[in-house]
Structure 1
Amino acid sequence: MASLHCNSSVNSDANDEIKEKTASEMIETVAEPRGRVEVQESAWDSAKNSPKVILYSIGACASSMLWGFDIGVNSISTSLPGFKMVFGYEYQNELLISASWNALWTAMTSLGMLIGSIICGWISDRGGRRLGFAIGSAVSLLGVGLEYAANEPGLLLAGKIVNGFALGFFLTLSSIYASEIAPTPLRPALTAAVNLFINAGQLIAIGIGNSRFTIMSPASYKVLFAAQWSFPCFIALVSIFMPESPWYLCRKGCVEQAKKSLERLHLKTTDTSLILEDIQATIADEQAIANAQQNASFMDCFRGTNWRRTRIACGMFAVQQFTGIAFYSQALYFLGISGLPVALTFQLALGGFGVAMLGNIVSWFIMNYVGRRLLLLTGIILNALCLMSVGVAGCFTSMAALYYIGYVMNFAQLFYAPTVGAVSWTISAEVSSIKIRARTQSLAIVTNAFVSWVMNFIAPYLINTDQANLGGKAAFVWMALSFFSLIWAWFEVPEFKDRTYSELDDLFTRKTPTRGFRKQVTGTRLDS
């Protein structure tokens, strides 16, 4: 998994030819449709013809399960009496975790993710996707070790940061790898699988934590930390056997290795030479436009049409947080200090994450028919309405209102998971240009980490009884953010359904209006 040393010229004849062409002429060249045979294939037929692609994509996306488990650990540990006895304090005859400690506890992972995702883009662009997974696994093993050994807050937070660093690698690479090896009909399902595994990780953590509530020693929560070791071990094993991304290899000029990678990813009956030609043609087209318009640099993500694509990729993860996921993740702790029976809060959490996994699987099927944009807009609206109802219920002090808040906070995943939760990962993975995909996705995960850090830092202060003590009324904050997200998504996020990467390049290059992506035919210039 060392860095590759190949001829960096992807298509030397094409690159020589574009020197004599203007940027306008190159845009006309890119407009030629490619890959339409692949799109015309149904998702079911594509799945039957690509079992190994599905297997390796699932292996890559499974790395995101560690983040879900980490989120679950954050929620569960602050509810365990054994954890509160070590890291909490007594307030009005009740064990509490201070708002500042709770905020730091949930935010340190995001800080590590922010750093890790930036470095991952640089490493994976030079050493490959497999090397990135291997490095992330090694760092995670260290981070989990620090968490397990910690008996005081400083070391525990250090472990969270280190493990978050690894998560920055995993979350950046999982959607990149799946999007680069998946045929167009399978791309929505395989990239959305990231969110499925995040929910699965949370469900596993809740299941383990549910059996530790009666234990009053540090063993109650240390077993949760130890269980995290299984994830980097699995990911390290997968990285040994997984083929390198053919898109990465072609960009490095390693055409023969890319061909071998495609042969490992597809059945013997598949003509991989056609796939290889399409990859080379798309990369050559993007490089041609970049050469014709400007000199390539690290700042490409913020220049020209790439800036629009970067905004969308990053904005999707801001939308995830703005629609209330940080508020929902506080359900176990909040409901516990509000007086709801502890056993019920765990049962609701298990049921909620089970619904989330089901909803994510449903999204695989409806995304190919409904499209990304409609699912996103619908999901934002439904989550805003859920948050509004929780806020209204929070204005009352009855047990009926508390029960209502408990059920809605956990089962809001019924609306969130198949819409915003799943679509965000798919759109973010699809929207960037091939040439700077790793860097764009790194910026997207940085945005995810930063906004997640802010939201998770604020949430405990809004909820804690010794702070703002808003209770359910805190939902109004995320309701307002949801309506802001709706306005942004309406004007900014286009429809990517059934579009190949070369077609998306064409549509963005022509500055196609947001609502024109669905109906615009590639290869024809817009009148406007």
Structure 2
Amino acid sequence: MASEEVENVTQHDSVEGGPADLHDMVHHPKGWMNWRVVMNMIIVGLGLCLWGFDNSSTGPILALPLFVLKFQGYGPAFTAKNLDLLVPVPIVGAALGTVASAPLMNKLGRKRAMVLAYFLGAAPGSFLSMFAPNMAAQIVGRFWTNLGVSVLTTAAPLYLTELAPAHFRARAVGFCVAGVAAVGVISTTIIWKTATIADNLQWKIPIALQAAIPVALGFLTLLCTESPLWYLQHDQLERAKSALLSIRNANVEVVEVELATMQAAALAEAERARQADVHFWDILKPRHIQRTLSAGALLCLGQVCGQILIMTYSTVILVQSGVADPFKITILITCLQFLGTIIGPVLVDKVGRRPVALVGFSILFILNMAAGGLAASGLTTKTQQLGLAAVFIIFGFFNSACGQTLSFILPTEISTPSLREPTMAWAVFWSYTTAIITTFAVPQITAADAGNLGAKAAFVFGGCVFITVTWAYFFVPETRARTAAEIDEMYDIGLPMRHWRNHKCQTGSYMLNTGIGGKDVEVKEP
């Protein structure tokens, strides 16, 4: 943006009253919902479905006898070495994809970045996996798929928080995660059915679906509205206002107040940017380091809370533990995971981020200890085996309601506007890096030809969850219904996280002084 003044972006004098009226307009806008924003949120939310499909189907596919026979040559299960080739190595592609996601989103916008990820990453990679003649080609196909999926995983949550108003952010992103869980239910059910097929269609059918989905979603994403905030950050005020009007039911009052809050944050960032150029690595500067570490830590800690053991490798672990009908149990796990993704976003928006984090992570600690204890008992009786299956199922619910919901919401909220893309890319990069380590470690400590711990590995993850609960108390902020400008303010004054809920910000006063509530809002281009 240049330094000269631009036209008044709002000329509205129907917002009556003082700060109380403004507070309601900012935090509880009325009449904004319409079919267009619902369509946008559904399509963008489905952008994470490929991650959900891959995450939920990896374990069941790796347990299919003909898949093992095709790519290992003998069975009945993959060795720890081959599991470490088929799971962690492709996640390296996902980590690399996050590096590309920040410049893609910044230069092209959220919408075009996602379209490219569908057509150039996820789709061709899945087609290669489907027709792979050997282990090497299968690994390359999964690597390429994960490269595209990671761009979607980075862009979709960020995109959703910029389409939804502040009071609806958690539900918008959370229901996106619900779509992930729904796809997980579908994928595991499909694999359960194809497991009875006596030829290579047993594993080719689910991978074929994974190849077809990005093609369909790529075309649907072309129908979406670009992020208003991205337009604003790229000197396109009229397009930003037009985009907001289309996804706010043409409600002028809501659009003008929301646009003003975005500009308030943009002006504050512009003042800082005039003092120094903004670069990717600014996320590690002292004023931003707490946000950056918190954004990355939450996604990383989610990887070591047991979800890799119980979600990704659930079918393999259940087979190893002698649990009957492991494919059916996996379907139940994904069903409870889906239920958690429906309930979690509502809880996070209604109750708050901190209560859900502290209570949810504490429950995950108890469940990990229970799983480890049952495994340590020997799993020699049917009751013990059913108990382990029940713990896995319940874990699926609480992990999605707490860990997965918060992991995708908070990083998008706590990043400062000018560093949203690099902060989210940083968080997802370290999430995938942690996933590489954990997916490599799990076979080494659980497989019969390696550490042979089986489900007793839950004790290790339980210790990680204990650390997570302690960390959450000090570093998880309460961002419920807060605007970007308010979050910036509370970070700037160094307010302890436990005091965020009841803090009254001065952002409303700033907006009144600059013209909302009867005056024109005159904005200088930063």
TM-score with structure 1 setting the length:
0.89
The alignment status of 1:206 with 2:193, answered yes or no, reads: no
Q: Which residue of 1 aligns with 2:376?
A: 395
The alignment status of 1:426 with 2:426, answered yes or no, reads: no
**Mapping for residues 151-166 of structure 1, pairs under 5 Å:** 151-166=133-148
Q: Please state whether the residue corresponding to 2:63 is helix, strand or coil.
A: coil
Relative to structure 1, is the Cα distance of residues 51 and 135 closer, same or farther in structure 2, using a 3 angstrom cutoff? Answer: same
The alignment status of 1:408 with 2:376, answered yes or no, reads: no
Relative to structure 1, is the Cα distance of residues 168 and 33 closer, same or farther in structure 2, using a 3 angstrom cutoff? Answer: farther
Q: Which residue of 2 aligns with 1:59?
A: 43
Q: Which residue of 2 aligns with 1:175?
A: 157
**Mapping for residues 37-436 of structure 1, pairs under 5 Å:** 37-41=24-28, 45=30, 49-88=33-72, 95-138=76-119, 139-271=121-253, 272-292=255-275, 294-329=276-311, 330-341=313-324, 344-397=325-378, 398-399=380-381, 400-436=383-419
**Mapping for residues 471-482 of structure 1, pairs under 5 Å:** 471-482=454-465
State how far apart, in whole Å, the 2-side matches of 1:103 and 1:384 are: 26
State how far apart, in whole Å, the 1-side matches of 2:206 and 2:186 are: 10
Measured after TM superposition, the shift of residue 311 of structure 1 is 0.9
Q: Which residue of 2 aligns with 1:18?
A: none
Measured after TM superposition, the shift of residue 489 of structure 1 is 1.5
- Name the stretch that deviates more: 159-168 or 295-304: 295-304
Measured after TM superposition, the shift of residue 209 of structure 1 is 0.3
- Name the stretch that deviates more: 191-200 or 63-72: 191-200
Contact 1:357 1:417 in 2 (8 A): yes
Measured after TM superposition, the shift of residue 403 of structure 1 is 2.2
Relative to structure 1, is the Cα distance of residues 54 and 307 closer, same or farther in structure 2, using a 3 angstrom cutoff? Answer: farther
| Residue identity matched to 1:78 | L
Deviation digits for residues 439-489 of structure 1 (CA, Å, limit 9, x no counterpart)? 111111101111111111111111111111111211111001111111211
Q: Please state whether the residue corresponding to 2:222 is helix, strand or coil.
A: helix
Measured after TM superposition, the shift of residue 33 of structure 1 is 11
Relative to structure 1, is the Cα distance of residues 239 and 33 closer, same or farther in structure 2, using a 3 angstrom cutoff? Answer: farther
State how far apart, in whole Å, the 2-side matches of 1:395 and 1:35 are: 58
Contact 1:80 1:212 in 2 (8 A): no
Q: Unaligned regions of 5+ residues in structure 1, if any?
A: 1-7, 15-31
Measured after TM superposition, the shift of residue 122 of structure 1 is 0.7
| Residue identity matched to 1:166 | G
- Name the stretch that deviates more: 216-225 or 159-168: 216-225
State how far apart, in whole Å, the 2-side matches of 1:389 and 1:35 are: 49
State how far apart, in whole Å, the 2-side matches of 1:86 and 1:227 are: 19
The alignment status of 1:506 with 2:493, answered yes or no, reads: no
| Residue identity matched to 2:79 | S
Deviation digits for residues 38-73 of structure 1 (CA, Å, limit 9, x no counterpart)? 44427xx56x63442232122111111101111222
Q: Which residue of 1 aligns with 2:424?
A: 441
What do you get for the CA RMSD once the two structures are aligned? Answer: 2.0
State how far apart, in whole Å, the 1-side matches of 2:365 and 2:37 are: 37
Q: Which residue of 2 aligns with 1:491?
A: 474
State how far apart, in whole Å, the 2-side matches of 1:411 and 1:100 are: 30
Q: Which residue of 1 aligns with 2:518?
A: none
Matched residue pairs, number?
490
Deviation digits for residues 505-524 of structure 1 (CA, Å, limit 9, x no counterpart)? 11111111121211222239
The alignment status of 1:450 with 2:437, answered yes or no, reads: no
| Residue identity matched to 2:447 | N
State how far apart, in whole Å, the 2-side matches of 1:430 and 1:315 are: 14
Q: Which residue of 2 aligns with 1:26?
A: none
Q: Which residue of 1 aligns with 2:522?
A: none
State how far apart, in whole Å, the 2-side matches of 1:401 and 1:273 are: 60
State how far apart, in whole Å, the 1-side matches of 2:68 and 2:22 are: 57
Contact 2:167 2:480 in 1 (8 A): no
State how far apart, in whole Å, the 1-side matches of 2:225 and 2:376 are: 55
Q: Please state whether the residue corresponding to 1:97 is helix, strand or coil.
A: coil
TM-score with structure 2 setting the length:
0.89
Deviation digits for residues 153-196 of structure 1 (CA, Å, limit 9, x no counterpart)? 10000011111110111011100110011111110100122321
Q: Which residue of 1 aligns with 2:513?
A: none
Q: Please state whether the residue corresponding to 1:412 is helix, strand or coil.
A: helix
State how far apart, in whole Å, the 2-side matches of 1:174 and 1:279 are: 20
Contact 2:90 2:140 in 1 (8 A): no
State how far apart, in whole Å, the 2-side matches of 1:439 and 1:517 are: 25
Q: Unaligned regions of 5+ residues in structure 2, if any?
A: 7-18, 508-526
State how far apart, in whole Å, the 2-side matches of 1:355 and 1:245 are: 32
**Mapping for residues 5-20 of structure 1, pairs under 5 Å:** 8-9=1-2, 12-13=4-5
Contact 1:335 1:345 in 2 (8 A): yes
| Residue identity matched to 1:312 | S
Query: What percent of counterpart residues are identical?
Result: 21
Q: Please state whether the residue corresponding to 2:418 is helix, strand or coil.
A: coil
The alignment status of 1:459 with 2:446, answered yes or no, reads: no
State how far apart, in whole Å, the 2-side matches of 1:270 and 1:101 are: 58
State how far apart, in whole Å, the 2-side matches of 1:213 and 1:58 are: 31
Measured after TM superposition, the shift of residue 250 of structure 1 is 0.7
State how far apart, in whole Å, the 1-side matches of 2:500 and 2:34 are: 28
Relative to structure 1, is the Cα distance of residues 35 and 251 closer, same or farther in structure 2, using a 3 angstrom cutoff? Answer: farther
Q: Which residue of 2 aligns with 1:3?
A: none
State how far apart, in whole Å, the 2-side matches of 1:429 and 1:53 are: 19
Measured after TM superposition, the shift of residue 219 of structure 1 is 1.4
State how far apart, in whole Å, the 2-side matches of 1:331 and 1:277 are: 48
Q: Which residue of 1 aligns with 2:519?
A: none
Measured after TM superposition, the shift of residue 240 of structure 1 is 1.2
Q: Which residue of 2 aligns with 1:24?
A: none
Relative to structure 1, is the Cα distance of residues 229 and 60 closer, same or farther in structure 2, using a 3 angstrom cutoff? Answer: same
- Name the stretch that deviates more: 49-58 or 458-467: 49-58
Relative to structure 1, is the Cα distance of residues 369 and 266 closer, same or farther in structure 2, using a 3 angstrom cutoff? Answer: closer
Relative to structure 1, is the Cα distance of residues 109 and 33 closer, same or farther in structure 2, using a 3 angstrom cutoff? Answer: farther
State how far apart, in whole Å, the 1-side matches of 2:118 and 2:43 are: 13
Measured after TM superposition, the shift of residue 35 of structure 1 is 6.6
Measured after TM superposition, the shift of residue 339 of structure 1 is 2.1
| Residue identity matched to 2:281 | M
| Residue identity matched to 1:145 | F
State how far apart, in whole Å, the 1-side matches of 2:472 and 2:261 are: 31
